Amino acid sequence: MKRVIAVANQKGGVGKTTTAVNLAASLTATKRRVLLIDLDPQGNATMGCGIDKNSQAWTSCDVLLGDCTAADALVLVEYGGFKLMPANQELTAAEVRLLTMIAGREFKLRNALKPLRDEFDVILIDCPPALNMLTVNALVAADSVMVPMQCEYYALEGLSALVQTIEQIKTSINPDLEIEGLLRTMFDPRNNLANAVSAQLIEHFGNKVFRTLIPRNIRLAEAPSFGKPALFHDKESRGALAYLALAGEMIRRDESPDAVDPPETKVAAEGQGMPQEPGTQEKALKAELAPTSEVPEMPEMPEMPEIPEVPEVPVTPEVPVTPEVPATPEVPATPEGPVTAEAPPDTEAVAPSSSAADSAEAPEAPEAPLTPV
């Protein structure tokens, strides 16, 4: 399994970088030597691997402009064990300089990777979301193209334009270029539109559609914030297991090119994609995403036995009412004493002074009659 795979789709937000990072980690887990090349000026793949894109001495920009060799720009990813060629916003300047070149601008990346092809089993190229000179360099250097896409109408429109570009490059520059496969990402089996578009893809592209489905998974979305692939963030998550199943499907295709997987592939517990009955993975996703969609029938309740009637309780005879006690007669009120006449308001009562009382003479006692001698 020695080939260069470009992960490309000019539509943004379809899971190109997520696929490139997690597929690189999954292939490394299967003992493959993997190199991931970040060819997007946003540098999301670099940051998703836990590498600071702004502190690198050499990047893919320097490789394209010939300022360093590809081997000089490689760094080891701690979580995953694969090699990475980082990128940052300086890659935009490299694209402008490539456009000013007259000849050989499409072969810059291809020529830079020639010394490294024998050192790695798989080289993955994360392309920008545009059909620009960077994407053309990736398609010229690649042996095949993996196309992640959502099962939506706009994704179908973008797919037709990408297929035309691949055919043009195959006709003029790279005759060995082929489509590695179409990968359905962020798949929700509860969505009728997603199921309809998925059926159209299988009808038109047949075996080129990967049977592994990448579901919507919160662990895949939050893993880049921790700077590690989902396999090292939560190895039991459905997203991590799905990319392990994709790696297994790619290995089986490479070992047995004539072998065709059944219409669907279920994610096994060990992370390998095991053939199952058609529609097994979609059914499994539906069962996990909507566990209460089918309500089991309730068993019939047994008839309740009749409750015996309660005998009537005899009525207690009324207690005779106690006669009222006659009220105690009221005690007549004591008559009030004579009211002392009030002195006239303007006249004040003058008390006799003590001196006048003292000077008052007592009445003289009558003299006793004289007794005759």
Residue 145 has pLDDT above 80, yes or no: yes
Q: Calculate mean pLDDT across residues 111-130.
A: 94
Strands (E), the chain: 3-7, 34-38, 75-76, 83-85, 122-126, 144-149, 178-187, 209-215, 265-267, 273-275
Read off the pTM: 0.70
Q: What is the pLDDT of residue 254?
A: 86
Q: What is the pLDDT of residue 181?
A: 94
pLDDT, tens digit, 9 for 90 and up, residues 237-259:
999 999 999 999 999 998 876 65
| pLDDT level of residue 156 (50, 70, 90 thresholds) | confident
Residue 203 has pLDDT above 80, yes or no: yes
| pLDDT level of residue 104 (50, 70, 90 thresholds) | confident
Q: What is the pLDDT of residue 276?
A: 42
Q: What is the pLDDT of residue 208?
A: 92
- Percentage of the chain exceeding pLDDT 90: 53
- Joined together, the tokens standing for residue 126 give 């994360």
Question: Using CA atoms, how far apart are residues 25 and 6, in angstroms rounded to an integer?
Answer: 16
| pLDDT level of residue 268 (50, 70, 90 thresholds) | very low
Answer for the pair 138, 10: CB distance below 8 angstroms, yes or no.
Answer: no
pLDDT, tens digit, 9 for 90 and up, residues 38-68:
999 999 999 999 999 999 999 999 999 999 9
Higher pLDDT, 266 or 303: 303
Q: What is the pLDDT of residue 305?
A: 58
Q: Calculate mean pLDDT across residues 313-334.
A: 63
- CA-CA-CA-CA torsion for 116, 104, 145, 87, nearest 10 degrees? 60
Question: Using CA atoms, how far apart are residues 153 and 165, in angstroms rounded to an integer?
Answer: 19
Q: Calculate mean pLDDT across residues 6-13.
A: 91
Q: What is the pLDDT of residue 327?
A: 64
- DSSP three-state, residue 101: coil
Q: What is the pLDDT of residue 2?
A: 86
Complete domains list, the chain, with CATH = 3-289 (3.40.50.300)
CA 183 to each of CA 235, 250, 359: distance values in angstroms, whole numbers, following the listed order: 21, 11, 144
* Strands 83-85, 209-215: pairing kind: unpaired
Residue 325 has pLDDT above 80, yes or no: no
